[in-house]
Amino acid sequence: MAFPETRLRRLRQTAVLRDLVRETTLAASDLVLPLFVHAAPGRVPIAAMPGVDRVSIDHAVDDAGAAKDLGIPAVLLFGIPAGKDAEGTGAYDDEGVVQLATRAIKAAHPDLLVMTDVCLCEYTDHGHCGLLREGPHGLTVDNDASVELIARTAVSQARAGADLVAPSDMMDGRVRAIRTALDADGLTDTPVVAYSAKFASAYYGPFRDAADSTPAFGDRRAYQMDPGNGDEAVREALLDVEEGADVIMVKPALPYLDVLRRVKDATRMPVCAYNVSGEYAMVKAAAAAGHVDERAIVLETLTAIRRAGADIVITYHAKDAAAWLQ
């Protein structure tokens, strides 16, 4: 039956009717708040990301507590170390900034989940996500040597108390290497959140300023995915499932909603979307200029990411969104 018997506007008449038939919900319990923790005192604002600061460990403990009080179940930690070197040793230092921050946050807020970003780019002096070696096309990131250090980083973070580890390096085989290393260390219950379909994206620009992780030369296109590829994203996700991933991530979120849906349908795994720094910066800039209603646009965006297939959304809007949803 079509019009006039069928009138889809019948269920749109009032807020209570619309609430009754809404397919996709958004709650604070779906959100993860990223935190940038530096090995320095105090708070330093990040110019392109109003409302987001680089923070010392004690401030990170406070920010984590504020997130928890708003009903946000997890924070995602990024570290900015005091010094960098070619091998990114700060990443797998048991007394590294993320390890110390993890211990401090877990001690203060045992019920809040701490997720840690597993990568070398914030710790290498060249800014790439792994170890460099000379290859047939010039300097390149050595996959297998990097995977070893990535696995070491994950174990060090999990030993420090990380509830979930999230590798973002895009080396082949790192999920299995991390799973094997965690299990060998008795950390069989630490889930791996795999950045499976991570695209080489201009939307990471503000993050790289925040984390001081811009590559000193070249770009990340020899390891992160080409933005044109959807089939390959599904292959990446399926491989990570096979390697033992517990959660599959798609990143960025908004320009890749089709990929999110395809990955969800192909894997039926818990899927996480990363609403990245550039997505945040654009919304904040447009809102500050008065061009959009920030609250409305953030809640619509996060709902759309959920509708596309994300069970979990990592977003710098987490605290604002959680407050608005209360």
CA-nearest of 9, 55, 22, 10 to 300 is: 22
Which amino acid, one-letter code, is at 131?
Answer: L
Contact of residue 243 among Zn ion, ligand PBG, none (CB under 5-8 Å per partner type): none
Q: How many CA within 13 A on the CB side of residue 280?
A: 27
Compute the least distance from the CB of residue 316 to ligand PBG, in Å.
7
Cβ–Cβ under 8 Å, residues 67 and 75: yes
Compute the least distance from the CB of residue 220 to ligand PBG, in Å.
6
Q: Report the SS3 class of residue 32.
A: strand
Task: Report d(CA 224, CA 247) in Å as an integer.
Answer: 19
Q: Is-catalytic flag, 284?
A: no
Q: Is-catalytic flag, 264?
A: no
Q: Which residues bind ligand PBG (CB under 6 A)?
A: 117, 119, 121, 129, 168, 204, 207-208, 220, 276-277
Cβ–Cβ under 8 Å, residues 277 and 316: yes
Contact of residue 204 among ligand PBG, Zn ion, none (CB under 5-8 Å per partner type): ligand PBG
Q: Which is nearer to ligand PBG, 89 or 185 (CB)?
A: 89
**How does strand 132-135 pair with strand 138-141?**
antiparallel
Q: Which is nearer to ligand PBG, 183 or 226 (CB)?
A: 226
Burial class (CB in 10 A: 0-12, 13-18, 19+), 289: exposed
Q: How many residues does the chain have?
A: 326
Compute the least distance from the CB of residue 26 to ligand PBG, in Å.
20
CA-nearest of 158, 160, 161 to 150 is: 158
Q: Which residues bind Zn ion (CB under 5 A)?
A: 119, 121, 129
Compute the least distance from the CB of residue 204 to ligand PBG, in Å.
4
Q: Which is nearer to ligand PBG, 7 or 221 (CB)?
A: 221
Q: Which is nearer to ligand PBG, 108 or 200 (CB)?
A: 200
Assigned token pair, 212: 């001081």
Which amino acid, one-letter code, is at 196?
Answer: S
Residue with the shortest CB distance to ligand PBG: 207
Q: Report the SS3 class of residue 292.
A: coil
Q: Which is nearer to Zn ion, 56 or 146 (CB)?
A: 146
Catalytic annotation, pick one of 68, 84, 198, 319: 198
Compute the least distance from the CB of residue 39 to ligand PBG, in Å.
17
Catalytic annotation, pick one of 251, 264, 284, 319: 251
Residues carrying an active site annotation: 198, 251
